[in-house]
């Protein structure tokens, strides 16, 4: 559904995208992950034909984004970052106006508008002015618009930004609901956000592609296990080296314990090995847990791998 090759975008002298390539299959829900300024919105704006690229190619549903923008636009429902909505229109009128722009058949538009309002949970504010809605409701009006024409590809730029936890949950449900029927591309700088909604991730950093693939496989690289054992710091360090489970950090704790953090580089769960080994040495073990990796851990592990595995 999406084929991007060597995509590069310069804003003046600033390189916002630097040779990014990735692809998305039909029906996939793909997360676009990266910190502020990584180039997520820039890529989305190029894919949705709103801005031109400096070089490279991008295709949506087989059509070149630069050569056939009208065909590409018909295929896409896009909710931009900080979606600018007309504040002086009522929700249903706005969606009616959008349906006209998207050339929805007249007879079907009203029915479809009701459907997306239900789906995005804005039916109860259909008659309210957009300017009077809370941010969360406005966000969902933007989503309703993106879904309106039943596009093959839905592009949502930070759909949960600024929402409260309940709204975040309902948007997540909605996104999961779209899976299978649509191809969905969602951007976020929050790892857990993407983890809950996406099958696959594309990770950008400073305009470059850092990694792409199944999130659980990437996360396994960033796995960390913590063990607290009662022994001396020197013995714990030696033990950690012998275990050879990956990079280990040992820090002394009050009460004669040592906190050992193993940056686990394998997909296997190493807790069993650690437990057995501590047991063998007769060391009391008071904590053994796997840490949920943060986006930061993932970046560190991915960039470390690139720089030749220090
Ligand atoms: N119109 C513009 N003119 C100049 N530079 C821009 C423009 N738009 C974006 N940039 C720069 O390009 C880089 C990528 O920006 P982009 O908005 O794509 O990042 P992002 O990953 O969406 O970040 P965020 O998480 O903050 O939304 C940033 O360094 C940004 O400052
Ligand atoms: Mg952005």
Q: Are 42 and 197 in contact (CB under 8 A)?
A: no
Give residue 16 CA to ligand 1 midpoint distance, Å. Answer: 7
More confident residue, 262 or 19: 19
* Section 169-185 average pLDDT: 87
Greater confidence (29 vs 136) lies with 29
* Of the candidates 165, 158, 162, the residue with the CA atom closest to the CA atom of residue 143: 158
CA distances from 112 to 41, 100, 198 (A): 28, 12, 26
Ligand number nearest to the C-alpha of 190: 1
| pLDDT band of 309, cuts 50, 70, 90 | very low
Task: Give the span between the Cα atoms of 275 and 281, in whole angstroms.
Answer: 10
Ligand 1 within 6 A of CB of 13: no
Q: What pLDDT is recorded for position 285?
A: 96
Per-residue confidence at 307, pLDDT binned at 50, 70, 90?
very low
State how far the Cα of 212 lies from the Cα of 30, in Å rounded to an integer.
10
Token digits of residue 29: 């829900």
Task: Give the CATH H-level superfamily of domain 2-214.
Answer: P-loop containing nucleotide triphosphate hydrolases (3.40.50.300)
C-beta separation of 85 from 135 below 8 A: no
Residue identified by tokens 């618009």 is 145
Tell whether ligand 1 has an atom less than 6 A from the beta carbon of residue 41. Answer: yes
How far out from the chain centre does Cα 139 lie?
A: 17
Residues 65-88: pLDDT tens digits? 999 999 999 999 999 988 889 999
CATH of the structural domain 223-292, one choice from 3.30.379, 3.30.70, 3.30.1920, 3.40.50: 3.30.70
CA distance 279 to 78: 56
Q: Closest Cα to atom 25, ligand 1: which residue?
A: 36
pLDDT at res. 308: 40
Q: Tens digits of per-residue pLDDT, 216-272? A: 777 777 778 899 999 999 999 999 999 888 778 999 999 999 999 987 656 577 899
Which residues touch 19 (CB under 8 Å, ≥6 apart)?
A: 6, 7, 8, 56, 208, 209
- Look at residue 306 in the predicted model and tell me its pLDDT: 54
Convert the pLDDT of each residue in 103-114 to its tens digit. Answer: 887 778 889 999
φ, ψ for residue 179, nearest 5 deg: -55, 140
Please tell me if the CB atom of residue 82 comes closer than 6 angstroms to any atom of ligand 1. no
Number of H helices, E strands in the chain: 11, 14
pLDDT at 215: 81
Per-domain boundaries in the chain: 2-214, 223-292
Report CA dihedral (248, 277, 258, 263) to the nearest 10 degrees. Answer: 20
């Amino acid at each position: 559904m999406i084929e991007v090759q060597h995509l590069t975008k310069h804003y003046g002298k600033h390189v916002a995208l630097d040779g990014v390539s990735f692809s998305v299959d039909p029906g996939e829900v793909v997360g676009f992950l990266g910190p502020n300024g990584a180039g997520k919105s820039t890529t989305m704006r190029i894919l949705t034909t709103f801005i031109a690229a400096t070089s490279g190619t991008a295709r949506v549903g087989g059509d070149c984004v630069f050569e056939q923008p009208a065909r590409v636009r018909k295929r896409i429902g896009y909710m931009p970052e900080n979606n600018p909505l007309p504040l002086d229109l009522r929700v249903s009128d706005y969606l009616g106006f959008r349906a006209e722009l998207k050339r929805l058949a007249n007879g079907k538009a009203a029915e479809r508008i009701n459907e997306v309002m239900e789906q995005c949970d804005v039916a109860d504010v259909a008659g309210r002015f957009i300017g009077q809605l809370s941010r969360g409701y406005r966000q969902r009006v933007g989503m309703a618009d993106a879904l309106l024409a039943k596009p093959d590809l839905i592009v949502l730029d930070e759909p949960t930004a600024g929402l409260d936890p309940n709204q975040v949950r309902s948007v997540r449900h909605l996104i999961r609901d779209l899976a299978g029927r649509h191809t969905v591309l969602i951007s976020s700088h929050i790892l857990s956000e993407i983890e809950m909604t996406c099958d696959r991730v594309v990770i950008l950093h400073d305009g470059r592609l850092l990694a792409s693939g199944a999130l659980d496989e990437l996360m396994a690289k960033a796995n960390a296990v913590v063990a607290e054992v009662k022994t001396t710091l020197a013995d714990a360090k030696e033990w950690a080296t012998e275990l050879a489970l990956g990079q280990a950090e040992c820090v002394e704790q009050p009460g004669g314990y040592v906190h050992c953090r193993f940056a686990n580089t394998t997909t296997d769960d190493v807790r069993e090995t650690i437990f057995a080994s501590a047991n063998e040495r007769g060391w009391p073990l008071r904590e053994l847990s796997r840490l949920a990796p943060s986006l930061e851990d993932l970046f560190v592990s991915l960039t470390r791998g690139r720089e030749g595995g220090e």
